[in-house]
Structure 1
Amino acid sequence: MKFIVYSLIFILTSFSAFSQRSLKDSLFSEVIYTNIKSYSYQANQAYATKNFAKGKELFRNFIQEKVANKYLDNFKAKNLNGALVSINSYFKKPVILITYASWCVVEEGEIPALNELAKRYHDKIDFVVLFWDNANKARKQAKQFNNKVTILYIDERENMFASEVKNLKHALGFPLAYYIDSEDRIIDIKKKTPELLRPKESYIDAYVQNYNEFVDGLNSLLINGEAINEYLVGK
């Protein structure tokens, strides 16, 4: 009988340890910690030689091979009332999480496209914008978004957030769009192409391009549901 009990304890303990290791290995922060130096070196080399196509390819490969299907760390940010919000527990639907800073040059048409999609699909997807700024700057920037978009901010000067949270900003840069399913898995991350690297576009063309890019990402969150299937055509 003792042998059976000890065996059961050993099995449960081993399973618990294995589960903890598996979860740790599946976290976004762990993947970044393990792989970011190699990726950053190659990406910096590409951008230093103005090989933007190579830099874009390296980013896509890194996301698809290392980050996709890993779990977002359960981090906290503040809402515009100053209350801490836990991303993983507060949002129950799939999430598009876009990271900005107030000094970012946001492409014309990007925010209107996001607002329109939030208005149409907020019942299926939570639309969240995270500013790396203080409360005053975040509130000022929030005026650009409609009430279907949740605005959060992280002020690093407060020095109260864990290192894995900072990976959202410092590891891959910004602005970025994280597409996260209802189980907190990162399905995809898309980097916005700097406006200076794009050909000049009309407002309509910029709006259409941003709208369609967001639709692509949002459809990755609706694999088991109904696709949006509302691509726009520019004039």
Structure 2
Amino acid sequence: MRLILLFFLIVFAPQSAISQEKTILFSDAIKSNIKKYNKESDKVYQNGDIEKGQALFDSLVKNHLVGSKFDDYTFKSVNSKKVKLSKIGKPTFIITYSSWCVINKGEIAALNKLARNYNDSIQFIVVFWDTKQNMKKIGRQFNGKIKVCYANESYKNDATAVSTLKHTLGFPTSYFLNSDMEVVDIKRGGIAIPPRTPSRKAMEMNYALFDERLTDFMQKKDQMHQLAVLSQD
């Protein structure tokens, strides 16, 4: 039975998640692969091939970023407390925004509901690439289950996070980390909300998308954990 389970995990787990021999930092994985990815993706997007562009992103994540160790960033939060990732100690969902970009209709309400429902098992963090001054109003729209943070080039110690996250994969981007800060998955963008969609319907559409991603995240997280345990036996 143990051999069957090991075979199943090897077949279905991302290749980068299988290797436990050497810890690779997320920032190093990005640095080693982003130039080639940008060159290839720029070409296909210029040709209007959105589907192939998404496939290239998924390949970058699956083959080079999943399984890497997320850098231990310390973000400033709107309540003046700092959020250090290594202090969280449980699976973490991070989504990045910027206050000058319009957030999808119903998305904040959906994240608030998700944070309430998953509060016991997942820590939700929202990071805005912006200044504290610009965060005062929008930060109040999120509930207390979500740590609302900000980072900006003008602030000391934010340069690494900004260059590694904002200026590589863009935003909005969602990062799914296990309790050991290993990257389990990364997704970009959200769902397209048709014009004049009622607020409640928009919230439900966003909720369904993120709930599906979180369910997939928890399943992949468990697979990675089981594989790590089996590899130690």
- Once the two structures are superposed, residues 141-200 of structure 1 have per-residue CA deviations (whole angstroms, 9 ceiling, x without a partner) of 1122111111011121124235355211111100011111111011111101485xx755
CA contact (8 A) 1:99 1:175 kept: yes
Cα distance in 2 for residues equivalent to 1:163 and 1:54: 30
Q: Does 1:166 align with 2:166?
A: no
Question: 1:206 matched to which residue of 2?
Answer: 202
Instruction: Name the counterpart of 1:191.
Output: 188
Tell me which amino acid in the other structure corresponds to 1:82.
S
The alignment covers a number of residue pairs equal to 200
- Which ranges in structure 2 are unaligned for 5 or more consecutive residues? 1-20, 224-233
Q: Which residue of 2 aligns with 1:9?
A: none
Runs of 4+ in 1 over 6 A off after TM superposition: none
1:96 aligns with 2:93: yes
What SS does the aligned partner of 1:65 have? Answer: helix
SS in 2 for 1:70: coil
Structure 1: unaligned runs, 5 residues or longer: 1-20, 226-235
TM-score by length of 2: 0.78
> Counterpart amino acid of 1:86?
K
| Contact 2:151 2:162 survives alignment (8 Å) | no
Which amino acid counterpart does residue 207 of structure 1 have in structure 2?
M
Cα RMSD of the aligned pairs, angstroms, is: 2.2
Distance in 2 of aligned mates of 1:114 and 1:164 = 23
C-alpha contact (below 8 Å) 1:179/1:217 kept by paired residues:
no
What SS does structure 1 have at the residue aligned with 2:154? helix
* Residue in structure 1 matched with residue 80 of structure 2 by the alignment: 82
Which of residues 54, 57, 62 in structure 1 aligns to 2:55?
57
- Quote the Cα distance in structure 2 between the aligned partners of 1:187 and 1:118: 19
Task: Single out whichever of 161-170 and 125-134 deviates more from structure 2.
Answer: 161-170
Residue in 2 aligned with 1:22? 22
What is the Cα deviation at residue 93 of structure 1? 1.4
**TM-score normalised by structure 1 residue count:** 0.77
Distance in 2 (alpha carbons) for counterparts of 1:30 and 1:164: 13
**How far apart, CA to CA, are the structure 2 residues paired with 1:84 and 1:113?**
25
